[in-house]
């Protein structure tokens, strides 16, 4: 892995003992906590606000502002850490949890101190036992050392940090679904409003849900000051950020770069990063921010890795996941694969998503398998429109959460740019098929 400077959250990744308490303490660990406890909770919150730290989970909401959304004088408040990394293409939180768990725990403590959270819950994805193990060990060591629990470092700051974990459901990465899961329920999102977690979250109490990467920034911010953090990056995207570049690149990897400065072209082509397209083939498309994001193409390569610019260009940086597709990529197949993902991961709560994403998958599968009909492309777009009216960006939705509209992103992208590939499959099907296959139900039976 190649890393540019400064390294804020990945600074210990090269050390063999990065995940141990001794390793952490030897590299400045828990100094931010000591510093914070010597100042007021408000000072911690102010520092984070000054840093203009954007949430790193996907939506990119400013963390300091989010903290301020908790209604005054309503107690208790909770902190929930979203470690349910599962957006296709995304690989960073797992690293942070496996390689530097104490950094995350220190971030959690700083947040609890600043926000006034009575208890914190660290929700790790179920499929990540190593991360669970490292965090469990780190918590046990931190409790024993007096960093977590009752009267932290001899002060009156007391908070339990509870490790919990999921059991396989992408949707639980959505913050209200995560809260449901943490309450022992099916991870089905709640409608916002009225259930904004900051006001009505865990057990209907004010709850701040922050991503692992977001919180991992806090020790550095407190140690170095919010202004130092804000001095890095671009106007609207401060600090550094981790990006995973995967797919058809020579050197897939996870890179911490200054936020908003480098471009997609830098990250995909520069030798210190992904090093260019595999086999020096042509770029066909790339996903700039996880499977939910609309695809980008050649013309977007020079855009900086900066939130506002990318939003305006019609997609998002999302979870920092760049997936590169070269010229050999089958657009129909990639589109089908991503749609299938969302269909499989729909929680089933909202009708349009439950029924619509599966229907979209079925139509695409049919087209891919050679049973497409000329009317299917309009149908595909109209069903998409009924999930995400207008098929615009940012998406409108007939659903509670953005999962349903996310299934529309790849279809809209692929159909916009590669419609001839869909048409070609349908034309081929029309020419090579004399009748409808027997296992294919006739429309007449549903009249």
- In the bound state with other proteins, the residue whose beta carbon lies nearer, of 191 and 231, is 191
**Helical packing angle, 351-369 and 376-387, nearest 10°:** 160
Task: Give the orientation angle of helix 351-369 with respect to helix 403-432, to 10 degrees.
Answer: 30
Q: Which C-beta is closer to other proteins: that of 129 or that of 374?
A: 129
Query: Maximum distance among all alpha carbons in the chain?
Result: 81
Phi, psi torsion values for 287, nearest 5 degrees? -95, 125
Across-strand partners of 286?
296, 324
Here the tokens at position 95 are 């690293």
Q: Which is nearer to other proteins, 64 or 352 (CB)?
A: 352
Cβ 183 to other proteins, closest distance in Å? 6
Cβ proximity to other proteins: between 152 and 232 the closer is: 152
> Closest CB to other proteins among 231 and 396?
396
CB of 62 to other proteins, least distance (A): 19
Which residue's entry shows tokens 């106007």?
235
- Minimum gap (Å) between residue 194 Cβ and other proteins: 7
**Phi, psi torsion values for 216, nearest 5 degrees:** -65, -20
Q: Residue-wise over 356-377: b if at least 16 C-beta within 10 A, else e? A: bbbbbbebbbbbbeebbeeebb
- 378 Cβ partners below 8 Å, 6+ apart? none
Which residues have C-beta within 8 Å of that of residue 25, sequence separation ≥ 6?
none
Min separation Cβ 231 and other proteins, Å: 26
Decide: 410 and 365 in contact? Cβ < 8 Å: no
Shortest Å distance, C-beta 19 to other proteins: 11
Give least dist CB 151 to other proteins, A: 8
Cβ proximity to other proteins, 54 vs 291, nearer residue: 291
Least distance from C-beta 354 to other proteins, angstroms?
6
Angle made by CA atoms 339, 175, 233, in degrees to the nearest 5: 90
- Which of residues 234 and 301 has its CB atom nearest to other proteins in the complex? 301
């Amino acid at each position: 892995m190649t890393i540019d400077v400064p390294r804020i959250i990945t600074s210990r990744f090269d050390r063999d003992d990065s995940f141990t308490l001794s390793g952490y303490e030897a590299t400045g660990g828990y100094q931010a906590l000591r510093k914070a406890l010597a100042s007021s909770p408000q000072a911690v919150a102010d520092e984070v606000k000054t840093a203009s730290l954007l949430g790193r989970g996907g939506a990119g909401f400013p963390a300091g502002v989010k903290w301020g959304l908790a209604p005054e004088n309503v107690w208790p408040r909770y902190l929930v850490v979203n470690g349910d990394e599962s957006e296709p293409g995304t690989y960073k939180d797992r690293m942070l949890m496996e390689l530097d768990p104490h950094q995350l725990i220190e971030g959690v403590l700083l947040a609890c101190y600043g926000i006034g959270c009575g208890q914190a819950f660290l929700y790790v994805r179920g499929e990540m036992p190593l991360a669970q193990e490292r965090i469990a060990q780190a918590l046990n060591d931190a409790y024993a050392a007096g960093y977590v629990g009752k009267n932290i470092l001899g002060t009156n700051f007391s908070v339990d940090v509870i490790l919990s974990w999921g059991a396989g459901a992408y949707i639980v990465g959505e913050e209200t679904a995560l809260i449901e899961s943490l309450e022992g329920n099916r991870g089905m999102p709640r409608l916002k409003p009225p259930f904004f977690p900051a006001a009505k979250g865990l057990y209907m109490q004010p709850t701040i849900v922050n991503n692992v990467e977001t919180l991992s920034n806090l020790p550095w911010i407190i140690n170095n000051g919010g202004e130092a953090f804000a001095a890095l990056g671009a106007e609207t995207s401060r600090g550094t950020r981790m990006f995973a570049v995967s797919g058809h690149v020579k050197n897939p990897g996870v890179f911490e770069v200054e936020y908003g400065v480098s471009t997609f072209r830098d990250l995909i082509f520069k030798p210190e990063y992904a090093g260019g397209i595999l086999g020096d083939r042509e770029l066909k498309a790339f996903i700039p921010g996880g499977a939910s994001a609309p695809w980008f193409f050649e013309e977007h390569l020079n855009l900086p890795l900066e939130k506002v610019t990318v939003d305006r260009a019609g997609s998002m940086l999302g979870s920092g996941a760049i997936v590169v597709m070269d010229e050999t990529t089958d657009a129909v197949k990639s589109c089908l694969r991503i749609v299938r993902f969302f269909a499989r991961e729909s929680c089933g709560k909202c009708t349009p998503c439950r029924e619509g994403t599966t229907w979209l998958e079925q139509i695409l599968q049919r087209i891919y398998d050679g049973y497409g009909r000329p009317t299917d492309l309009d149908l595909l777009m109209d069903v998409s429109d009924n999930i995400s009216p207008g098929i615009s960006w940012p998406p409108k939705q007939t659903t509670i959460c953005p999962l349903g509209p996310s299934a529309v992103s790849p279809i809209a992208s692929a159909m916009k740019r590669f419609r001839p590939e869909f048409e070609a499959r349908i034309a081929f099907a029309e020419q090579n098929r004399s009748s409808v296959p027997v296992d294919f139900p006739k429309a007449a039976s549903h009249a």
